[in-house]
Amino acid sequence: MDKFLIKGPCKIKGQVLISGSKNAALPILASTILFDKTVTIKNLPRVRDIDTMLKLLKSLGSKIQFFNNKKTVKIIKNKKQKIFVPYSLVKTMRAGILVLGPMIAKHQKSITSLPGGCLIGARPVNYHLSALKKFGMKYKIKKGYIYANSKGQLKGANYKFSNISVGATENSIIAASFAKGKTILKNCAIEPEIKDLTNFLKSAGVNIKWIGKRTVRIIGADSLKEIKYSVMGDRIETGTFCVAATLTKGDLLIKNFNPKLIQTELNLLRKTGATIKTSKNEIHIKGPKKIKSINSIVTKEYPNSLATDLQAQFMVLLCTANGRSSITESIFENRFMHVAELRRLGARIIIKGNKAIIEGQTEFKGAELMSSDLRASVALVLAAMVARGQSVINRIYHLDRGYEKIEDKLRKIGVNIKRLS
């Protein structure tokens, strides 16, 4: 099992090119189930979750052709499509549930395994099932599988999500795109990755319009046209590198991402003392000599709050600040799993329910560490970068699920990091 060896402290300098967004690409790839014609997707990140989704599509009957070092895929549909999604293909990836909506919309039946992924909270699929049921889907759950069907084509519906859910919003938008008639979805998640999905479907001929902050109107299409589409840059990778530059008191130019999509995080970094200049698709960030604490940060749904996928990275940064800070996690109930490992490096963090109280002025010291989930893993990498001495990070397969060649990118900007097999 691979691990990282990192020798610190390191200071970042140079430039980094942001990869395509994993969280945008996964629902877009799932939605290709609706197509009869060829779909070409560009700017895909080379990460394990994308490989898993492509294997899943292949198992259902799609032909996959790779171009441009696998960053571009052409998806060609065979006439015979399967409807079974085995546990073996979704046990490491929550996004496997995203094929349920398009399969019911396209084929009126599906046998889909309940998903796997990171152990960072319940992430119940009931939000997905409740919404799809409104379109006419019937289902039962048996031995870890969702057995679903509908009598004929799904029908458009008016539906308000009881809780804001990214995955359920995506699944419902995809299903509604092929349902008969008009759908109004209210209380939707509105992350940039969801807007990328609606832009993709709109390009394919679906009549989609956002008619309120969290309300979208969709008129289902009878067929979708052949298209080529480039996935947006990765918002969480961008935020991670912004934190890295601030943490190491570095000087970093970040390319291939629209800074308007992470304004909240950039403003928080400015509060810690970072100097940030932005242009159309670039962010130039310089870390301060002394990092300032932030009294209170709360993770909430996009926009206007810190993204939960950047919570662990910001916690590392605040460990080195000049005073006490706090982070309240309101999205997932089990997302402080990295705290125990950060304590091994010297962090002083007290957990009170869903709130972490972070004592600043920590001088991290190298240690052997264990990754627990995707974003916690990268937080340990950040901490090891500024720790004195050598750190070993085990179980980095979590990182490979969501960060494309992160050790290569870090090495090019000054981090002493090696992958050990």
Cα 375 to chain centroid, rounded:
9
Distances (CA, A) of 220 to 55, 66, 175: 27, 30, 9
Residue 377 and residue 25: Cα distance in Å, rounded? 21
Q: What's the length of the chain? A: 421
How far from each other are the two terminal CA atoms of the chain, in whole angstroms?
Answer: 6
Tell me, yes or no, if 10 is annotated catalytic.
no
Stretch (H or E) spanning 97: none
Contact 131, 154 (CB under 8 A): no
Catalytic residue among 10, 118, 242, 319: 118
Contact 7, 405 (CB under 8 A): no
| Percentages of the chain per state (helix, strand, coil), in multiples of 5 | 35, 30, 35
Strands 325-329 and 297-299: parallel
Which residue is listed with tokens 């990869």?
19
Extract the tokens encoding 76. 């060609």
DSSP character at residue 323: S
Extract the tokens encoding 311. 């919570």
The neighbour count for residue 209, using CB atoms within 10 Å, is 11
| Cα within 13 Å of Cα(294), Cβ side | 22
Residue positions annotated with a catalytic role: 118
